[in-house]
Amino acid sequence: MGASSRLRTYQFLPLWKEAGYEVTLSPFFNDAYLNAVYAHRKPNILNVVGCYFRRLGVLLTAFRYELIWIEKEAFPFLPSYAEWILEKSGKGYVVDYDDAVFHNYDQSPNWLVRTWMGDKIDWVMRHSRMVFAGNTYLQDRAILAGAKSVTLLPTVIQPTRYRKKAHAQDSKPVTIGWIGSPTTLKYLLKLKPLFKRLAEKFEIEVLIVNAEPAKPVDFDFPTKWISWSEAGEVEAILMMDIGIMPLPDNKWERGKCAYKLIQYMACGLPVVASPVGMNVEVVSHGKNGFLARDRKEWEYYLGELIQDSSLRKQLGDEGFELVQQRYTISRNFEVMKEAVRKLLG
């Protein structure tokens, strides 16, 4: 399943059940589609068409439920007919966003998409009963679109899955780590010249945790490649000494929910990140990590952390406490449960 569904829906199922709610899930795309996308293969067109017809069948049975909760949109790259029907029927819906999917339409290179569907997500937000937004960039867009009610709901971790790293003094090599999907690997690759310079000055290793089936590029500095799995991701993060999240300052990236940073901090790692979107809300510069605006700052702050294990521990401890206070599944669930209680009256 996709990361959005896994982190913002599926991991809450035990809590909903424990609270006495019955939840029926109906993912849009199946694993065959997602596997093709992650492997950079063209998805089977018949499989994709089948996903749309399956969703249509779900829509026809949706009226038996007390609350309809949509992740992003009912039908990707089709007009908002489904949401219109739900609204006009009086049933309504709530909608959840952890990415700036509205830019798939209003920033599309295809002028037909921009012209005919540029305001699709704004319409979906405006006519929903409530919008759940993963960060303030998405929240602000929902408010601007005229949404009736907007609730800020960051993407969070289950703390029992994570544990705090014990930072060994003067451990070598120092491991700089990155975790992400094949679609976000491009952000890391822009730092290749930086890693080469750091490797010439310090004993480092770059650890990449990614769902790519094979190492796609060659590196001229020490590198370790681990294939991502849900079961193994925490152990992989614990192999790191520093966690990084580079991002370009573009519209799509401003909608990112800084989940990598939250994962690193949940393991007690110090972080270095680009000051883009939610990154600036999670990272308190100099307290739990550093915000690097350009390659010069990236090199400086990573160098500081590479050379100082006590600084790594100090910043990692602060990040760990932040996650425990603000970014846990139990905290989010209370917000979600209260919102649902109000919606159901």
Q: Is residue 181 domain-shared with residue 305, that is, in the same domain?
A: yes
Query: Which pLDDT value is given to residue 214?
Result: 56
- Binned at pLDDT 50, 70 and 90, residue 266 comes out as very high
Q: 68 and 165 share a domain?
A: no
| Nearest by Cα to 319 from 279, 292, 274 | 279
148 and 169 in a single domain? The answer is no
Residues 333 and 298 in one domain: no
The answer to whether residue 89 scores a pLDDT higher than 70 is yes
Average pLDDT of the chain is 92
Q: Are residues 230 and 340 in the same domain?
A: no
Q: Which band of pLDDT confidence, cut at 50, 70 and 90, is reported for residue 243? A: very high
Q: Which residues of 96-135 are buried (b: 16+ CB within 10 A; e: fewer)?
A: bbbbbbbbbbbeeeeeebeeebbbbbbbbbbbbbbbbbbb
Q: Is the pLDDT of residue 269 over 60?
A: yes
**Tens-digit pLDDT profile for residues 136-195:** 999 999 999 999 999 999 999 999 999 999 877 777 899 999 999 888 889 999 999 999
What is the pLDDT, as a whole number, of residue 228? Answer: 87
Question: Within this chain, do residues 111 and 222 fall inside the same structural domain, yes or no?
Answer: no
Residues 106 and 163 in one domain: no
Phi-psi domain of 286 (left: phi exceeds 0; alpha: psi -120 through 50; beta: other): left
Residue 310: predicted pLDDT: 93
Domain count within the chain: 2
Q: Which CATH number covers residue 293?
A: 3.40.50.2000
Residues 332 and 244 in one domain: no
Q: Which two tokens stand for residue 113?
A: 């998409």
pLDDT, tens digit (0-9, with 9 covering 90-100), for 284-320: 999 999 999 999 999 999 999 999 999 999 999 999 9
Q: Please report the sign of the dihedral spanned by the C-alpha atoms of residue 342, residue 343, residue 344, residue 345.
A: positive
Q: Which of 54-63, 104-113, 157-166 has the lowest mean pLDDT?
A: 54-63
Tell whether 12 and 38 lie within a shared domain.
yes
Residue 177 belongs to domain spanning: 159-326
Cα–Cα distance for residue pair 50/45, rounded to 1 Å: 9
Summarised one tens digit per residue, pLDDT across range 41-55 is 787 888 888 888 999
Show Cβ contacts of residue 243 under 8 Å, excluding neighbours closer than 6 positions: 177, 178, 179, 237, 260, 261, 263, 264, 265, 267, 269, 270, 271, 272
Are residues 132 and 165 part of one domain? no
Kindly report the CATH number assigned to the domain that includes residue 116: 3.40.50
Question: CB under 8 Å to 42, separation ≥6 — which residues?
Answer: 36
Q: Are residues 138 and 167 in the same domain?
A: no
190 and 172 both lie in a single domain:
yes
